[in-house]
Structure 1
Amino acid sequence: MTAAATVSNFYYGAVTPIAAYLMACFGAALGLRCTTRSLRGARRGRKAGWLALGAVSIGCGIWTMHFVGMIGFNVQGALVSYDPARTLLSLAVAIVVVAVGVFLVGYRGAAPLNLGMAGTITGLGVAAMHYLGMAAMHTHGTLRYSAPTVALSVLIAVVAATAALWAAVSVHGLWSSLGASLVMGVAVTGMHYTGMAAVSVDLNGSTATGQSSVGLLSFLLFMLAGPLTVLLIAAVIVMFDPDMMLGDDERERPVSGARGAHRATAEPAEPGVPGESAERASW
């Protein structure tokens, strides 16, 4: 015997959606700044490292957004628990698929065909991360999904991923990156809550065997600790990178006149690294 349960995604009110949105924006902003650094770090052989850090930042931001949002998920009359292995697997999926997209556009550019392929792969991977995270959830009932709403959530994920990858290689100014991260946060969070709107639960009437609400909250906070630490470390790396000592506009502005002559003669350029001496002299 089964009965439809009342499902809520806002058990703690607006706290969880706002926190989830901020985490998505944080990861996106770090990812955009890392990809910007990759363009300047290419001549020093650091391009792959910056792209990898950007992928980890965006992936952790998306995954953290998902599980912060899941803190507010509640099934009336049922206790909920999560399988740790599947939960961690969903984190790995998020990072890997974002890395595929970021490296594709980072090395092959944002040509329409390449961008579309990278965005589709990444978007499908983000959707897979979301539904794999849902598959890690256990309750004494059956989860059902509305196929049209699921399809809409996947479409949003693909569009959001494509826009994010385009921004990663096209938006380089600090304020432009922050603005783009706010838009990306809306898209990623919108995908999450669209996917959650597709969920309904039929309880089977058996005895609840999941975690208590306090135990569930403790588990989710424990799982979030690792990705949050990674995001904070990435933020420190970006903030204290030497290239941050100059603004984007100053780095990209042509140098002329006596000041330019002084910079050009301050230190001999190294072979094969044009303009390196001028950049060093400007520190």
Structure 2
Amino acid sequence: MEGTVDGFRYGAVTPVAAYVMACLGGALGLRCIVRTLPGNQSWKGGWLALGAASIGCGIWTMHFIAMIGFQVVQTRIRYDAGLTVLSLAVAIVVVGIGVFIVGYRGASTLNLSFAGVITGVGVAAMHYLGMAALHLDGTIHYDPVIVALSVVIAIVAATAALWAAVTIRGFLTSLGASLVMGVAVSGMHYTGMAAVSVHVHGRTGGTWAGDSPSSLLLPMLVGPVIFLVLAGVVVMFDPMLVLGDGDWNRQAVPAARTAPRSESLFENLGNQENGAVGSPTPQDPYWAAPRSPQR
């Protein structure tokens, strides 16, 4: 018989919490990637990796928080721990591939398209791999048209996220982009869940292999959530975020151009002693500032 599928067991609690985690992961990832855009490239790989892990953890956490609210009324649901952990690894790796492509090769149309397809298909694979971790006394069926639509949404969302990561630099614009990313990721998830139908074998209500949501998902969510909090701390103490992009650039560039050279003063003094130069040149930065008149 056909099972009654309910994706909102706890009402709006799980969708809202899932959306918040997707936005948090997206916001942290965007700020980490933006941090690689200035000229200093010494920590570029580390910031890109942190950004990819933040976005991947945010997507994975969003998925399984939403899955806590998923139930089939006629049967219990269990989860395979191995496949659940594997889906987290897939999320981080595929997002990392896309981030590193645009981070090192640039945001050309070809690079964005290639990276967006890889990342979007990977995010969809993470979703359906997480669905494969479900065990219940029945058979799960998918509507192929809706599944294809969810993959398209994932590709579009991934491409837009990668474009925003290398294009949008301001804090407020990054925040707005992360909110849009949260909508896109959540939309992909619930579109995929709309494709699900379950044929229940019976009303046994018994137990079978795997762990329940409360015994598996909640403890497993602790790790990614802690990681996102720690990543948030790292980002919050980054001077580019504290000062703002404009202030960072204005302070970094002029400081590099106008920083005094200690040897210039000694060279000037030495030249005066040798009689080579009678007075400092107007171009010398040490003598450019006007002096107060002598009284």
- CA RMSD between the two structures: 2.1
**1:238 counterpart residue number:** 235
**1:264 counterpart residue number:** 258
Structure of larger gyration radius: 2
**2:13 counterpart residue number:** 15
Instruction: Spell out the pairing of 1:185-204 with structure 2 (5 A cutoff).
Output: 185-204=182-201
**1:107 counterpart residue number:** 104
- Establish whether residue 34 from structure 1 lines up as the match of residue 32 from structure 2: yes
Q: Give aligned-pair identity as a percent.
A: 62
In the TM superposition, what is the alpha-carbon distance from 1:9 to its structure 2 partner?
0.5
In the TM superposition, what is the alpha-carbon distance from 1:77 to its structure 2 partner?
1.3
Say which of 123, 136, 140 aligns to 1:139: 136
- Establish whether residue 91 from structure 1 lines up as the match of residue 88 from structure 2: yes
In the TM superposition, what is the alpha-carbon distance from 1:90 to its structure 2 partner?
0.2
* Amino acid in structure 1 at the alignment position of 2:247: E
How far, CA to CA, are the matches of 1:235 and 1:157 in structure 2? 25
**2:266 counterpart residue number:** none
Instruction: Spell out the pairing of 1:3-82 with structure 2 (5 A cutoff).
Output: 3-40=1-38, 43-82=40-79
How far, CA to CA, are the matches of 2:109 and 2:11 in structure 1? 41
Classify the secondary structure of the residue corresponding to 1:10: coil
CA contact (8 A) 2:23 2:182 kept: yes
Instruction: Spell out the pairing of 1:201-216 with structure 2 (5 A cutoff).
Output: 201-205=198-202, 207-210=204-207, 215-216=212-213
Q: 5+ residue gaps in structure 2? A: 263-295
Deviations 1:71-101, CA, capped at 9 Å, x for gaps: 1101011100100000000000000000000
The number of residues matched between the two structures is 260
How far, CA to CA, are the matches of 1:170 and 1:73 in structure 2? 36
How far, CA to CA, are the matches of 1:140 and 1:124 in structure 2? 29
Deviations 1:153-173, CA, capped at 9 Å, x for gaps: 000000000000000000110
Higher percent of residues as helix: 1
**1:274 counterpart residue number:** none
* Amino acid in structure 2 at the alignment position of 1:177: S
Q: 5+ residue gaps in structure 1? A: 269-283
In the TM superposition, what is the alpha-carbon distance from 1:253 to its structure 2 partner?
4.0
Classify the secondary structure of the residue corresponding to 1:12: coil
In the TM superposition, what is the alpha-carbon distance from 1:38 to its structure 2 partner?
1.4
CA contact (8 A) 1:139 1:208 kept: no
Check 1:46–1:255 CA distance in 2 against 1; reply closer, same or farther (3 A cut).
closer
